[in-house]
Structure 1
Amino acid sequence: MPRNTSINADIRDARNELGARLRELRRAAGLNGQQLADALSWQGSKVSKIEHGNQTPTDDDVRAWCRTAGAEQEVESLLADLHTLETRHAEWQRQVRGGLARVQESVAQRESATRILRTFQSTFVPGLLQTPGYARARLEQSANVWGRRADVNEAVAARMARQAVLYEPGRGFHFVIAESVLLFALCPPEAMLAQIDRLMSLAMLSNVRLGVIPFDTSYVVAPTHGFSLLDDRLVTVETFTAELNLAQPQEITMYRKVFDSMALAADYDRKARTHLHRAAEQIEQRNNAREQP
């Protein structure tokens, strides 16, 4: 499967930015690339590769670079950038080697460390709100992509176990979904009807807020992709090939702004239930039409 080019471009840009910062420190110290390499007992090509984003430096590389350039005050900031670069692109191929259930357990650990979870989705029901039937259909789709059908049952159970966090005191959840989520045929009709009923029930929890953005809404920000905001410390974005983890303050601020825009566009409570009821009726009508000879 080809890699997601927009995500790869994002990683490349981040690596280039880190390299540019290191290059500025070298130049400010009055060193050319070969002089820095000689001082560090490196091959000259290593300095060039790091500065042009073709090689990711290690923690020790960054510390040695700053020490030689007389810029040790920049170490912590540069290491923060480096660690963000290392974690922002976690390939699914690597994650699913341990099985789909293992992925669910990893997500559960992250959610258990979160007090306020905000999620926007324009395509599918968020995992924490899924029924077993809907979850099975979604996980089988993932299994078909990755060839990991063997542990679908375990993965469904693990996804259901994640939902215990919804009932823990001191936690808050705000979900916003586009109305399209309710009508995409991502599972059998009967499973989707049960899923809509589940959404109605969960929306009644005092710590869960569920908003639905109607089809006829004029978006201020296009619903380009779904994402989750964990407290104000991490944003996660899922693609076909990877999970993008964003932890820079400016990124979190931007996604919080986008989420707030989506939340303002959504209907809640009685209006949200109206959308849910209407979607259920459309699914039933569509299903009945298919069954007619």
Structure 2
Amino acid sequence: MTESPTAAVQAARRQLATRLREIRTEAGLTATELARRLDWYPSKVSRIENARTPPAIADIRAWCAACGADRAVDDLVASAQSADSMYMEWRRLQRTGLRHLQESRVELYERTRLFRVYCSTVIPGLLQTPAYATALLESIARFHNTPNDVAEAVEARMQRSRVLFTAGNRFSVLVEESVLRYRIGDAETMAGQLGYLLTLMSLPSVSLGVIPFSAQRPTWPLETFNVFDDARVHVELLSAAVKITAPSEVEQYVRASQMLSRSAVYGSAARDLITAAITHLG
């Protein structure tokens, strides 16, 4: 099925490293000779060429200049920046709090028309109630030790969720049954959240599927991911957010979503699972 997001990032960095090695060899330089020209330790050239150390932008410019390949700089810099932006640690994204991260994605959400969402851990952000979002974001702020602006972040998330009611938008949402049972917040918070799911299911733009515990699966439960217009994927890891735009990789997530949807139940069967989860709250 899908490639590990961290493996995809490493693959992009290996491609950059391979291209830098090619530029050196095309210039007729050994690694030692290049290191001497750049006044680097030879081990630094080796680490870059073997993708063990990502090159800084200044390193790329110096490398190309030493090899007489200045025309390659712009493409290589773009490749390096693309690889870096694929993998962003939450501590960097959240260093000023959680509100900015919510607001930074508004433009993407507003221009997207087809949303494919798969969640194996929590209720998708677009479908969250304020109480559920508050409980979840409070736990995230504690874990990552970010500035506590949860109230503002929740408000930003609710504002972002207005795309649910934008004409022409479509939402294909899949959740594992376990997501209905994981208790985020207290019983009242969970009951309100599950009840809200029942309400959202009535929207003609929302297709909400639940993958039962007992389903015959085409694949294992995957990491939570969002696909935007089948052109861009966001994957959520414990330590980082991964952005994927390479068409071949995006296609894997679209295919995974389609395969997982065949294991899901919809309509009254999905309502029964949600209702059972509410009853289980006692």
Interval of TM-score (by shorter of Structure 1 and Structure 2): 0.7 to 0.9
Alignment correspondent of 1:166: 164
Tell me how far 1:130 sits from its aligned partner: 0.3
AA aligned to 2:194 is I
Residue of structure 1 in register with 2:233 after alignment: 235
Distance of 1:154 and 1:31 partners within structure 2: 55
Task: Please tell me whether the aligned partners of residues 119 and 176 of structure 2 are also in contact (alpha carbons under 8 angstroms).
Answer: yes
Which residue number in structure 2 is paired with residue 3 of structure 1?
none
Q: CA offsets, 1:113-171, max 9 Å, x none? A: 32211110011100100011111110111121133463221111111111111111222
Q: Could you tell me how far 1:84 is from its partner in structure 2? A: 2.4
Q: Which consecutive unaligned segments of at least 5 residues does structure 2 have?
A: none
Which residue identity does 2:115 align to in structure 1? L
Q: Is 1:118 the equivalent of 2:120?
A: no
What is the TM-score of this pair, normalised by structure 2? Answer: 0.86
Aligned partners of 2:260 and 2:269: how far apart in 1? 16
TM (norm. structure 1) is 0.83
Report the alpha carbon displacement of residue 62 of structure 1 after superposing the two structures with TM.
Answer: 4.8
Moved more, 232-241 or 12-21: 12-21
- 1:127 counterpart = 2:132: no
- Out of 15, 28, 31, the position equivalent to 2:29 is 31
Q: CA RMSD in A?
A: 2.7
Which structure 2 residues correspond to residues 183-198 of structure 1 after superposition, within 5 A?
A: 183-198=181-196
1:206 counterpart = 2:204: yes
Q: Note the C-alpha offset of 1:191.
A: 1.3
Q: Tell me the amino acid that sits aligned with residue 185 of structure 1.
A: R
Q: 1:85, CA displacement in angstroms?
A: 0.9
Segments of structure 1 that go 5 or more residues without pairing to the other structure are: 1-5, 288-293
How far apart are residue 10 of structure 1 and its match?
A: 5.6
Give the paired residue count: 277
Post-superposition offset of 1:33: 2.5
- How do 1:142-291 and structure 2 match up within 5 A? 142-148=140-146, 150-283=148-281, 287=282
Preserved contact between residue 84 and residue 246 of structure 1 (Cα < 8 Å): no
Between the aligned partners of 2:259 and 2:52, the Cα distance in structure 1 is 37
112 and 73 in structure 1: CA distance in 2 versus 1, 3 angstrom threshold: same
The equivalent residue for 1:291 is none
Q: Secondary structure at the match of 2:19?
A: helix
> CA separation in 2, counterparts of 1:250 and 1:36?
35
| Deviations 1:8-49 (CA, angstroms, capped at 9, x unpaired) | 66644542342123213433454322455577x564635333
Per-residue displacement from partner, 1:75-106 (whole Å, max 9, x unpaired)?
Answer: 64x55532321101111112222211112112
Q: What percent of counterpart residues are identical? A: 36
SS of 2:105's equivalent in the other structure is: helix
Q: 2 CA distance for matches of 1:211 and 1:217? A: 12
